[in-house]
Amino acid sequence: MKRVLFFLFLILLALNQNGIAQQNIRLNNSWDFVRQDLGGIWEAVRPVTPGNPESLPLWTKVTLPHCFNSRDAVDPDVNYYQGPGWYKTTLDIVNPYPNGRTVLHFEGAGQKTDVYIYTTKVASHLGGYDEWTADITQAVEDFKKTAAFKKQFKGKIPVEIRCDNSRDLETIPSQLSDFNVYGGLYRYVNLVYQPALSIDKLYANTSVSTDLKTAYIDPKLSFYNPAKLKGVTGELKLKDAKGKVILKSTYKLNDVDNDGTYPIGKLKFSKPHVWSPADPYLYTIEVTCSSNGQTYRQTEKVGFRSFLFADKGPFYLNGKRLFLQGTHRHEDHAGVAAAMTDTMMRTEMQLIKDMGVNFIRLGHYQQSRIILNLCDSLGIIVWEEEPWCRGGLGGDGYKNQARAMLTNMIQQHYNHPSIILWGLGNENDWEGDFAEFDKAKIRAFMTEQNNLAHKLDPSRKTTIRRCDFCKDIVDVYSPSIWPGWYRGVYTEYKKSVEDEIQKVNHMFHAEWGGDSHAGRHAESPDKVLENIKTGVGVDERLGDASLVGGNARASKDGDWSESYIITLFDWYLKEQETIPNFTGSAFWVFKDFSTPIRPDNPIPYMNQKGVVARDFTKKESYYVFQSYWSKNLMAHIYRNTWPVRRGNDVEEKMVKLFSNADEAELFLNGKSQGIKKRNSQDFPAAGLRWMVKFNNGKNDLKVIARKGRATVTDQISQQYQTQKWGKPAKLELTQMSSKDGITTIQAVLRDANGVQCLNAANWINFSLSGDGELQDDLGTPDGSRKVQAYNGRAVISIKTNNGSSVAAVQSPGLATAFLKL
């Protein structure tokens, strides 16, 4: 009997899931795409005879999410495409609700979008990052009455979408921004069936008492009711994480319209389980609305927590001090650009959480609902930001877009307990988009946006980064502090933070760090600091990000090695622990991302400030943060990605271990080098460092780290080279590996005697002829056909396609090397 009941349960579950799927369907497959404009909508729907002129332009098959700029954003030879592109598909539309609404729901599309059913335009939207809908109900019904519905489209509905990311000064974000303004359907598109009357938005309005003993929920609803139906009834349930109903109530409204917001009763309960990064406990709120015999149900996750920024003091969550340990995120990934799948997003956010992060700034635009859900469930506190980024202030259309995008961001992400800060702008002191740069007008509009944010959501704070003449407007301000990279030296960090804390009531430090070219390491990375002036300020100024001109600075004159950046991070992190009134910080940025304004970087068009590469490959700096922030025991010997070290026979070299263990023992070629105790203030590497003499040739390193009774080990092998080298004289191209149809090749710079030039940073250019495909335009150090060498070498992979190819590598001033594959 139990077995029969179990199978009945599975059948009911499947039916229920099918029912849900019929109401909200992701439209991922069966799309055609062309990256150009059309002469008109008729070109997308006219009957096509193969070989005739109307079969052009040629469309390609794509799946969603999809970005125009999946590869060309990091193509070293061209500017990335900015213009229109078209998508088309056909849909089977069967709305189960009599007189219901059929809606296309866009989770984000860049940047201007028009939607058509056959030749009828049904919606337009401006803005690449907020969600929006297109009601296609009437257009579908009208098309079903045409001859083309049955004859040409065989009972399906043709949908055509034009996306456009053309440059436009009167839109946000500015094209001066340090990230690509992508085009395409790069977030999910959904087909949604709704009753004639449905819930548009649910504002949960959760709060807790000061003593955390009582929780309150004061829900408000807005409705979508184009048919203007009368009389709405509904039910509200609040469930805990196990599904137990905590609260239950009903409501009745006599009349609702599309513009109003309606309270449905404030409720409270005792002993709430509060949300925090260490314990991200979520409740479920479920609300129904019923009218004219049809019921619509909406469920969302909510949390209960309190937070406080103390005046010129630290940050408190649920009454306890919490140091905010943060990073930043762009929606960008190797091979897909902005079109990240939910699987990619989960992978990225888990990597961030595993590093020990409890805070993230989502820069510089509203990001996917998937990311916010992950922040809620993983326990990552959020600063989310509207895309008013750089360039000044435009006209009425510009300001209307900013108002709309701020409103949409707050309304659409209102219920996420992870969010505490609404960002109003970024680097709004940056001139260039308009002939007029009027600080008073920028202040006036910033004030207006600040007031709008507080009106829409009184429960959260507002913030901006780097616009000193507006720092008194917002609740929390982040100044520009970049010692050791754009100006000054990293040892100036603590004083600069302490000074800035005193200038505003609530200060947070967003954006700090520097670029590192993954795989490049140095024995003396601090040498650049000898030529850098101190005491002249540490804020980033216009021009500091350039690789030409100006005073000496690490960003221009340094080696961009992983060795330097881990030293800078190590110093910052140990200093942050000694500032008792500091709210916290967020380093820039978690993952390398593409940018149109950095063509001369070691990977062209890539901002390389991430602690992971654009494909999630961890850099050495990832483990530095993990050693300070993660609660899970870890140990990582620095220079895992440095196959060859260099020096003299009798020279001692430092081995660094980044670990959160209490103590660790190092073994070199099987011999103990002693036990070291961890002390975060014992710089560098929190005291976990050893001076050792390497053997010429191969050396084996092993570490055993302990915390209480728990142990963790790490081990690597490194070559040690004492042989000297001259300037690069030739290129050598060899095959490193071949597996599953992918061959990896390596280019090495050697001097006249054949010795690898371990400090060479020459430009390397790969090319390929034959059956294979070069795996390039990925924006990674091993996925770029044009790249600066890291320690005298560079690698790239080739998809062989089971054929023969000839690879070539060039470097200015050197003879081309070839390799037959």
Per-residue exposure over 51-61, b if at least 16 CB sit within 10 Å of its own CB, e if not: eeeeeeeebee
Helices 562-576, 620-629: axis angle to 10 degrees equals 10
Helices 369-378, 342-354: axis angle to 10 degrees equals 30
Integer angstrom CA distances of residue 144 from 30, 154, 575: 21, 11, 68
Annotated catalytic residue 427: yes
Three-state DSSP class for residue 658: strand
How many CA atoms, within 13 angstroms, populate the side-chain half-sphere of residue 242? 3
- Dist CA 792 CA 520 (whole Å): 9
Tokens in use for 773?
A: 């495909």
Question: Would you say the C-alpha torsion 779, 780, 784, 786 has a positive or negative sign?
Answer: positive
Q: Which amino acid is at 443?
A: R
Q: Mind spelling out the 3-state secondary structure of 159-178?
A: EEEEEECCCCCCCCCCCCCC
Integer angstrom CA distances of residue 276 from 318, 319, 377, 507: 8, 11, 10, 21
Q: Is 559 exposed, middle or buried (0-12, 13-18, 19+ CB in 10 A)?
A: buried
- Strand ranges, E, within 391-544: 419-426, 461-465, 476-478, 509-510
In sequence order, the β-bridge partners of residue 224 are 198
Q: How many CB atoms lie within 10 A of CB 112?
A: 19
Q: Do residues 429 and 469 make contact, with C-beta atoms less than 8 angstroms apart? A: yes
Q: How many CB atoms lie within 10 A of CB 343?
A: 9
Tell how strand 262-263 and strand 307-309 pair up: unpaired
- Strand ranges, E, within 256-395: 262-263, 267-270, 283-291, 294-302, 307-309, 315-317, 320-321, 324-329, 359-362, 381-385
Q: Which amino acid is at 806?
A: V
Per-residue exposure over 574-587, b if at least 16 CB sit within 10 Å of its own CB, e if not: bbbeebeebbbbbb
Strand order in the sheet with 381-385: 476-478, 461-465, 419-426, 381-385, 359-362, 324-329, 584-586, 509-510
Q: Do residues 586 and 573 make contact, with C-beta atoms less than 8 angstroms apart? A: no
CA 136 to chain centre: 32
DSSP assignment letter at 695: P
- Dist CA 558 CA 568 (whole Å): 12
Q: Mind spelling out the 3-state secondary structure of 767-793?
A: EEEECCEECCCCCCCCCCCEEECCCCE
Residue in 131, 331, 386, 427 annotated catalytic: 427
In sequence order, the β-bridge partners of residue 89 are 159
- Dist CA 464 CA 441 (whole Å): 16
Three-state DSSP class for residue 251: strand
Number of H helices, E strands in the chain: 12, 49
Tokens 């203007």 locate to 228
Task: Give 406-410's long-range contacts (Cβ < 8 A, gap of 24+).
Answer: 406/449, 406/452, 406/453, 406/456, 407/452, 407/456, 408/127, 408/130, 408/131, 408/132, 408/366, 409/129, 409/130, 409/366, 409/384, 410/453, 410/456, 410/457
- Dist CA 367 CA 384 (whole Å): 8
How many CA atoms, within 13 angstroms, populate the side-chain half-sphere of residue 179? 24
Q: Which residues are catalytic?
A: 427
